[in-house]
Chain A
Amino acid sequence: MKILVCMSVVPDTTTKITFTDNNTRFNTAGVQYIMNPYDELALTKALDIAEPAGGTATIIHVGPADSEPAIRKALSMGATDAVRINAEPLDAQFVAAQIADWAKDKAFDMILTGRESIDYNGGVVCPLIGAMLNIPSIQVITKLEVNAGTATIERDIDGGREIMTCTMPFAASAQKDLCEPRIPNMRGIMAARTKPLAVVEPVSVKTGVEYQSFELPQPKQGVRMISADAPEELIHLLRNEAKVI
C-alpha cells in the first residue's frame, strides 16, 4: 500500500487577515503557519490504512523552505517520508500540476488531500490531480475502508451522503468525520528529525490565474440592540427593515 498525502501550509486559524503593497499581497508579518487542518485528517487516514498493511504514507508539499517545520510535524505524526517541491504555491492548478507530475510514474495506490486549504479555499486540488493522472477523484469523504484492493467510501453531497466503491488507484479529499487527527507523540517527534525530506525543483507550468488584489469585507455599520422582552420587534425589523424574511 503506497499512499501519497498532499499537504498545504496555512495561516493559523486565529490570524487576522490583512494585506500590504496596496492590497496586492497577503501580509505575512507575525503570522503563524500551521499544517492545513484537513490535511491532518488525510494523513491520519493514510497512516491508519498504510501501517497495518506494512505500507507507506508519503507527504508532498509545494512551497518554500519556510514550510519545513510543518512538514516535520507531518513526519512526526507518522508519515514515512516527505517531498517538498521547491516553488511558491501560486494557485491550485499550479500546485496540482506539480504534484501530478511528480507522482505520475510512482504507482501510488491512492492520493489523499484535504477537503480544501483553509487559506485560498479552492477545494479543487483533488479533482485536478485526478484529472491530470486520469484516475477517479472523490471529494469530501467521511469514510474510507480498503478491502482486497477495493475501497468503500462515503462522501458528503449537498443535503446528504453518497456511498460508493472504487478500485485503486484514486484521489480523494478528506472531510471532517473521516477520523480524529493524530497528535504527534515524543517518539514520533524524535523519529521525524531523521526521516527523509527530499527537495525537488518544480517543473515549468503555465498558470492561467493571476492574483491581482485583495479586499476585506465591508465592516458592519454597528449593531442595533433589541430588548430581550420584545423579540417580536426583531421579527418586525427583519421583515420590514432588512427585508430578509
Chain B
Amino acid sequence: MSIFVFAESSDNQYKKSSFEAVSYAAEVAGKTGTTVTAVSIGKADNAAQLGEYGANTVISINGPAFDSFNSEIYAAAFAEVCKQGNASVAVISNTYCGKAMAGRVAVALNASLASNVVDYPDTSNGFLVKRGVFSGKAFAYVNLTSQVKVLALTPNSVEIKKNGSAAVVTSQSVAAVSSTCTVTGTNKITGKIPLTEAEVVVSAGRGMKGPENWNMVEELAEALGAATACSKPVSDMHWRPHSEHVGQTGITIKPNLYIAIGISGAIQHLAGVSSSKVIVVINKDAEAPFFKAADYGIVGDAFEVLPKLIQAAKSATAS
C-alpha cells in the first residue's frame, strides 16, 4: 500500500495546487502509515522540491510524447507507475487537466473515484471523503469501497505544508500510449492567476454598467494580487470572457477572499462562490440578497467606492 500523487505543471513550473496535492497525500500517508510517491510528467523544473511538501520519492516521466498535455497519454503513464508501485490511493488536482486524467486513471486502476474532494479522508472506518455537490450549495460524504481510490482534490482546500526536504528524483521511462489526438497550439493567458487557484478573487456584475469600466476592477485585483471573475450576464453579454463566469453554470471557486462588486447575489451565483472563506459585497442596493451571504459589506456606488478602495489597497500592500 502506498500513495501516489500527480504533480501537475504548466510552463515548466509546478502549480500551487500540486503542492497542495502532495501535502494532502503526505497527511493521508502519515495517518495510514505509508509513503508518498510524487509523479511528475513532462518538462518541469526542480522535481526534487516536491520532497519539501512531503513526497518520499519522486518519479519523473519525460519524452517528446509528454511535452504537451494529452489526457490519454498522461493518464496511462500515471496509472502505469501507480500499478507498478502498488498504489492504494492516487491523488490528482481537481483542475481541468487533473479531472480529465482522473476518470481515465480510475478506469485503468479499477478504482473508486471521487472528484471535487474538499477535505482529508476519514479512514477510521472505511475511506470516507467529503466532496462538494450542487455547485457548492452542499457537501456529500462518500465512502470509497474499491481497493484502490482515486481522488481529485479541489484547489485551495487544504494548506500547503512544507516540512520535508528535497527528494531523490528517479527518471522512469514509460512508453507513451498512442493517441489519435494531437495538440497543435496553446493560447495561455500569461501573467494572470488562474481563477480556480486564486486565493483572492475580485468579481463584478452587471452593476459595472459596461466593459469599459472594468479597468477599476482589474486595478483592484492587481493591487490585491487577485484573479478577476464575473457574473453570468456579464459573460453572456461578452463584457468579459466566459472563463471568468462563476456560479452554478460557470466555475465553482473556493478562494480565501471573494469581493463581489455590483452583483445582486442570485442563488445561481452564490452556488459557485459560497465556499469562499471570506466574502465582501459592495452594492448600492442595501436590500441586495448578496449581503446575507457576506462577511463584510459596503452599501455604496461602485463608481465612488472603488477608486478609494484601490487607493487603500495600494497603500496597504505597499507598506
- Please pick, from B256, B281, B298, the residue contacting A228 in the complex, using a CB distance under 8 A: B298
- The answer to whether B292 touches A220 (Cβ under 8 A) is yes
- A162 within 8 Å of B (CB atoms): yes
Supposing A120-B133, A158-B194, A224-B295 touch, asked if A235 and B185 sit within 8 A by C-beta, the answer is no
Given A217-B138, A223-B297, A234-B298, the answer on whether A161 and B187 have CB atoms closer than 8 Å is yes
> In the complex, which residues of chain A have a beta carbon less than 8 angstroms from the beta carbon of B189?
159-160
Find chain B residues with CB under 8 A from A225 CB.
296-299
CA distance A217 to B272 in the complex (A): 12
The size class of the interface chain B forms with chain A is 35 or more
Q: Are A220 and B295 in contact (CB under 8 A)?
A: yes
Whether the Cβ atoms of A158 and B112 lie closer than 8 Å is no
Q: Given contacts A13-B267, A138-B71, A209-B114, is CB(A237)–CB(B296) below 8 Å?
A: yes
Contact of A176 among B130, B152, B242, B278 (CB under 8 A): B242
The answer to whether B139 and A223 touch across the interface, beta carbons within 8 angstroms, is no
A13 vs B247: C-alpha distance when bound (angstroms)? 10
Query: Assuming A160-B189, A239-B316, A242-B257, what are 13 further A-B pairs, CB within 8 angstroms?
Result: A14-B268, A120-B134, A122-B116, A125-B103, A158-B10, A163-B183, A170-B181, A208-B112, A212-B143, A217-B136, A225-B298, A244-B277, A245-B200
Are B267 and A244 within 8 A (Cβ)? Answer: no
For B144, the chain A residues whose CB sits under 8 A away are 208-209
- Residues of B178-225 at the interface with A, using a CB-CB cut-off of 8 Å, are 179-189, 192-194, 196-197, 199-200, 224
Docked-complex contact B133 and A165, CB < 8 angstroms? no
Question: A245 and B304 in contact (CB under 8 A), knowing A118-B135, A235-B309?
Answer: no
Which of B10, B281, B300, B301 touches A159 (beta carbons < 8 Å)?
B10
Pair A214/B133 contact, Cβ less than 8 Å:
yes
Neighbouring B residues of A138 by C-beta, 8 Å? 71, 100, 181
Interface residue? A29 (CB, 8 A) = no
Using A130-B72, A163-B186, A215-B141 as known contacts, say yes or no to A226 and B298 having CB atoms under 8 A apart: yes
Distance in angstroms from A100 CB to nearest chain B CB is: 9
With A17-B137, A130-B72, A215-B139: A223-B281 Cβ-Cβ less than 8 Å = yes
Query: Distance (Å) between the CB of B112 and the closest chain A CB?
Result: 3
| A150-164 vs B, Cβ < 8 Å mask (1 yes, 0 no) | 000001111111111
> Interface of B with A (CB < 8 Å)?
10, 15, 68-69, 71-72, 75, 95-97, 99-104, 106-108, 111-116, 128, 130, 132-146, 149, 152, 179-189, 192-194, 196-197, 199-200, 224, 235, 242-243, 245, 248-250, 252, 256-257, 267-268, 271, 274-275, 277-281, 291-301, 304-305, 308-309, 311-313, 316-317
**Most chain A beta-carbon neighbours within 10 Å: one of B100, B292, B309:** B100
A37 on the B face (CB < 8 A): yes
Closest Cβ of chain B: how far from A239's Cβ, in Å? 6
- Contact call A226/B99, Cβ cutoff below 8 A: no
**B interface majority secondary structure:** mixed
Determine if A124 is an interface residue (Cβ-Cβ < 8 Å): yes
A170 and B103 contacting across the interface, CB-CB below 8 Å: no
If A92-B113, A118-B135 touch, does A177 touch B242 (CB 8 Å cutoff)? yes
- Residues of chain A within 8 A of B280, CB atoms compared: 234, 238
Q: Please judge, given known A-B contacts A127-B99, A162-B183, whether A244 and B297 are in contact too, CB under 8 Å.
A: no
- Measured between beta carbons, the chain A residues less than 8 angstroms from B199 are 244
With A136-B72, A138-B71: A213-B141 Cβ-Cβ less than 8 Å: yes
Partner of B112, one of A17, A128, A209, A216: A209
**3 nearest A-B pairs in the assembled complex, by CB-CB distance:** A228-B300, A127-B103, A208-B112
> Is the beta-carbon distance between B107 and A131 smaller than 8 angstroms?
yes
Which of B133, B138, B145, B196 is close to A210, meaning CB atoms less than 8 Å apart? B145
Pair B294/A223 contact, Cβ less than 8 Å: yes
Q: Are A119 and B134 in contact (CB under 8 A)?
A: yes
Query: Residues of B contacting A147 with CB < 8 Å?
Result: none
Q: Which A residues lie within 8 Å of B293 (CB)?
A: 220
Q: Please determine whether A232 and B312 come into contact, CB atoms closer than 8 angstroms.
A: yes
What is the minimal beta-carbon distance from A164 to any residue of chain B, in angstroms? Answer: 5
Determine which of A17, A159, A234 lies in contact with B138 in the assembled complex, contact meaning CB atoms within 8 Å: A17
- Rounded to whole Å, the gap between the CB of B154 and the closest CB of chain A is 10
A213 touches B257 (CB 8 A): no
Kindly name the residue among A160, A166, A167 whose own CB sees the greatest number of chain B CB atoms within 10 A.
A160
Chain A residues in 8 Å Cβ range of B200: 244-245
B185 in contact with A124 (CB, 8 Å): no
Residues of B within 8 A of A136 (CB): 71-72, 179-181
Chain B residue with the shortest CB-CB distance to A129: B103
Contact call B292/A224, Cβ cutoff below 8 A: no
Cβ A121 vs Cβ B252 within 8 A = yes
Contact between chains at A137 and B197 (CB < 8 Å): no
Within 8 A of B (CB), among A180-234: 208-217, 220-221, 223-228, 231-232, 234
* Residues of chain A lying within 8 A (CB to CB) of residue B184: 163-165
| Nearest-CB residue, chain B, relative to A97 | B107
Q: Are A176 and B249 in contact (CB under 8 A)?
A: yes
CB distance from A24 to the nearest CB of B (A): 10
Q: A127-B104, A161-B187, A209-B144 are in contact. Are A37 and B249 (CB under 8 A)?
A: yes
